[in-house]
Chains A and B, each alone.
Chain A
Amino acid sequence: MNTMNELTFPIAPFGVRLGTRLEGKSAREELLAALESIPEPGRLIVSLDEVEVLSGSFADETIALSCARLATGEYGDRYLVVQSPSLEIAEDLSHKLERRHLAMLCLLDDRWDVLGQLAAPMRETLALVIKHKETTPKELAGILDIRHNACLHRVGRLADLRLIRREEVGLAGPYPTYRLSSIINS
């Protein structure tokens, strides 16, 4: 986890009130260029510090669409995390992510939260990965008291959403084994 490369992308230089899709589109181009510039494994912290207003349209065009492209695997072993002074600022972003069936981690002053759509069992699993920093599906299945396959399904979805990092580290019989790690420092 600590070896992940990191870059912060402040949104405020685009304006303290961010509203239109037109402005959002040009910000997205810069955001994705910044993401691509980070060596893998890498995370881009999208900072909402000093932003007063983030409309749904701007948030969708800049951040949610970038998140959608990240989820396709287009950017390899890279991750996006939002950093916000409050959940209220990111409220419309969360709504847009929900519409896209996506989710992002949001770093607040003294805690983290999830923006967008993530069911309670998935949140529980995500919280454990973040807490343990590094773990395995087998270990998680034991803590959660669920079947290994069910756990694999959960972490697979979290990895697809780019909420955790999942590395294939070997084989157990015909099946791959994974190391799971948090993309944020808890």
Chain B
Amino acid sequence: MTKLTVQTIDQVIEVITSKCSVDLDLTRVDFIDPYALLLLVLSLRHRENLGRPLHVRWPVRKDVQGWMHAMGFFAELNDPKVPWRSEASSKSDALQPMTHIIGEEEVSRLVNAFDKRLTSRYPLTVESRSALVKVMFELFQNIPQHSNATGDVADPHGLAAMQDYADSIFLAVADAGIGLRKSLSTREGFVDLSDLSALNRIVYDGMSRFSDPGRGGELRQIAKLVRRWDGLLVIRSGEALLYMDAERGDVYDAPYFPGVQIGVRLPRRVFGIDTPAVDNEAFL
């Protein structure tokens, strides 16, 4: 496997979470998207917490390793308690490194930091900027609000990262919390849902763990926006994966992983960006 992406990362997760595996060979990897990067760090940490050692051979390409460093991957893996800086080096291709999302009171500051990173690199249209900021507000605050609603996990490890490519901007938000099914199950009448049903009820029906009708519907709004803009939306939780692009949208079975992981890829043209501002062809 040479590319770790939305389409391929589940194969890696199967290896990482398997009791039988002792090695993970990523030496030939020449591209990683932010969604795959977050899942990689969360799944490796999950494995470590289970006390089962795994020998990982990292990508040999220097540019890939450099990007992983700039995105805070190795720092996050080695010492997750140290909050990662919110800005990447201006010499790096990394747009927005992995950032911890812990409390709701920090969400506005983080959204502004992400927006600042993006606008420092590109002039954005007002409409696209507002839409992306709204998406970030909703996805980021979901972590403190829902990822540990039952108090079952010690730390849901909320993370977010963003990267730009020649044709798109990619935002990833992930946690290793209780997941959508368990969150929804705290609401009366939603106790026995599967991961797949819970994902459907939350995204397509706008349900949330609250009976208050004003709560919920945010992921549905984001799905509508992504479709309107011919983007890509991936929502993964437990054993279910929603994959929605300009042509199709459906929920699929996936290998189990705790929490919720979301990837949003939007075409650069919706931001009023026509030409690449950075040389990141190596990752295409």
Contact = CB atoms under 8 A, between A and B. Distances in A.
A88 B214 contact: no
Nearest to A89: B130
B108 A23 contact: yes
B134 A53 contact: yes
B214 A20 contact: no
Contact of A53 (B130, B141, B214, B218): B130
Contacts of B217: 56, 95-96, 99
Interface in B214-273: 214-218, 221
Contact of A56 (B105, B108, B134, B213): B134
B152 interface: no
Contacts of A17: 108, 111-112, 133, 137
Interface in A21-43: 21-23
A69 B213 CA distance: 14
A65 interface: yes
A19 B134 contact: yes
A20 B141 contact: yes
B134 A52 contact: no
A22 B105 contact: yes
B25 interface: no
B112 to A, nearest CB: 7
Interface of B: 104-105, 107-108, 111-112, 126-127, 130, 133-134, 136-138, 141, 145, 206, 213-218, 221
Interface of A: 15, 17, 19-23, 52-53, 55-58, 60-61, 64-65, 68, 88, 92, 95-96, 99-101
